[in-house]
Structure 1
Amino acid sequence: MRLLVMNPNTTVSMTASIRATATAVAAPGTQIIAAEPLWGPESIEGHFDGFLSAAAVLDRLATLDTPFDALVMAGFGEPGREGAQELLDVPVLDITESAAQMAMMLGRTYGIVTTLDRSVPQIRDRLLTAGLLQRCAAVHGTGLGVLELEADPERTVEVITETAREVVRAGAEVICLGCGGMAGLQERVAAALGVPVVDGVAAAVKFAEAVVGLGLTTSTARSFAPPRPKAIGSWPLSAHLPLGPARGGSRNTEFSPQTSDI
């Protein structure tokens, strides 16, 4: 089984961290492929970044020339998942819904610790659309920007843990880490809190393995039917724009060597 884990921003070091977490929890025989878009924002902190990233991720998927059995989208609360479900004929899971679904199996209520406070409404909207908001006790931001998560790992864990304590006081029985850049921190935060902590990347990988193992995929009966054929100007974008040596500039450019052995 081959799972593609897509970091929605263009920060390669974050792709590497996400891949490490996915690989650590993957079952024997599951191969993890990690990638990021060829263009787009270096981090996603708001609707503008999110919609740019969604287009860049779909562009990356449209130009990809390697087989995979399921896609894990590693952006928390960001748009684009539904478009990928229409585009691909394999299961598509995102870390927001996967984390919440797993958390609800472990406790009556859950809460989310994310990055900046401005991300909170976006995450709550995503949960509402997915029908998962009712059992969410709270969503709190740490005040750390996405790229700050890697700057000082010890401080990052301390701030996440303290924010998670606030979420527990608000009624959460399980904590979800609300950013792909927090991947791999769940054990340290759980040890400090004494409650289960769910990492969305890990949860999505395990759900993806289960769905593929059961021979299931996205329904195309209605909501996620394939896109209707039509002319789309300059699409896919990465097939037309020179993107420079750092990202490559042609269709089916290989994954970043730092994150994949393809």
Structure 2
Amino acid sequence: MRILIVNVNTTKSMTEAIGRQARRFASPGTEVVTVTPAFGAESIESNFESYLAAVGIIDAVLKYEEPFDAVIQAGYGEHGREGLQEVLDVPVVDITEAAASTALYLGYKYSVVTTLEHCVSMIENRLKVAGLNTRCASVRATSTSVLGLESNPEQAVDSIVREAAAAVANDGAEVICLGCGGMADLEERVKQKLGGVPVIDGVAAAVQVAESLVKLQLKTSKIKAYARPRQKALVGFPLL
């Protein structure tokens, strides 16, 4: 099978890191193809940038010319997943929802540790839309920017571990979800420092979910919510 993973930002080094993580957890015979949008922000840390990214990822996926069996949207708390589900028949997996749903199998409450405070409400809203918020103990920010995850990884790991430990001690969390696709390269170091607390990277979880849906021969329902959009003129859309 071929899984298409689309980064929500335009930083190609982050796309490569996401691809490395995905290939670590992909089954033999699964081809992972990464895609970077042609336009958008270098990192997504606001609703404005996220809405722009939603158009960018749809544009990037529709321009990909080879066949694929599933799509993973590699952005935490971002917009766009519903749009992709409308225009595609294959399964579309968002890393936010993949991580949170996986956490439910491992503990009663989970917490998300993300980058900046501005991203907290975005993640909370995405979890609410997905129906995954009732067992979320907290969403905590590390005050590390998305690009800071690459430029200063050791500091980033320390800040993630600090907030994760606080989530366990103070919020009742039993499982930690890494709340940014750019944290994929940091997963192992965070796990080592947190000891026995389960740590879930959304990219790794999304690969497993996508593979399962493909193996079960399941596709996105087109009955109501994710029916294809009605045909009409799209004035100035980047794909045209």
* TM-score higher than 0.5: yes
Contact 2:8 2:57 in 1 (8 A): yes
- Paired letter, 1:177: L
Amino acid at match of 1:52: L
Secondary structure of the structure 1 residue equivalent to 2:103: helix
Deviations 1:201-251, CA, capped at 9 Å, x for gaps? 00000000000000001100100001110001122x155xxxxxxxxxxxx
Name the residue aligned to 1:190: 191
* AA partner of residue 18 (structure 1): I
Distance, in Å, in 2 between the alignment partners of 1:229 and 1:59 is 17
Partner of residue 4, structure 1:
4
Q: Which runs of 5+ in 2 are unaligned?
A: none
> TM-score under structure 1 normalisation?
0.89
**Superposition deviation, residue 186 in structure 1:** 2.1
2:124 is aligned with 1:144: no
- Paired position in structure 2 for 1:156: 156
1:167-226 per-position Cα deviation (integer Å, ceiling 9, x unaligned)? 112110000000000013222212211200000000000000000000001100100001
2:233 alignment partner, one of 231, 240, 244: 231
Q: Secondary structure at the match of 1:32?
A: strand
Question: For 2:6 and 2:125, how far apart are their aligned partners in 1?
Answer: 22
Give the TM-score of the pair, scaled to structure 2. Answer: 0.97
* Structure (1 or 2) with the greater helix fraction: 2
Aligned mates of 1:238, 1:217 — CA distance in 2? 25
3-state DSSP class of the match of 2:111?
Answer: strand
1:213 equivalent in alignment to 2:224 = no
Once residues 91 and 140 of structure 2 are traced to their aligned partners in structure 1, the CA distance between those partners, rounded to angstroms, is 30
Provide the C-alpha distance between the structure 1 equivalents of 2:69 and 2:190, rounded to a whole number of angstroms.
32
Is contact 1:184–1:199 with CA below 8 Å preserved after alignment?
no
Partner Cα distance (2:160, 2:90) in 1: 34
Moved more, 153-162 or 138-147: 153-162
Q: Find out whether 1:119 has 2:119 as its counterpart.
A: yes
Moved over 4 A (4+): none
- How large is the Cα RMSD of the aligned pairs? 0.9
Residue 104 of structure 1 aligns with which residue? Answer: 104
Q: 1:61 maps to which residue?
A: 61
Amino acid at match of 1:174: V
Measure, in 1, the Cα distance between the counterparts of 2:48 and 2:152: 27
Q: Show the counterpart of 1:84.
A: 84
Give the number of aligned pairs: 238
* Structure 1 residue 78, shift from structure 2 partner: 0.5
Q: Is the 8 A contact 2:43 2:146 kept in 1?
A: yes
- In structure 2, what is the Cα distance between the partners aligned to 1:144 and 1:219? 38
**Structure-2 separation of matches of 1:77 and 1:168:** 21
Whether contact under 8 Å (1:38, 1:238) holds in the other structure is: no
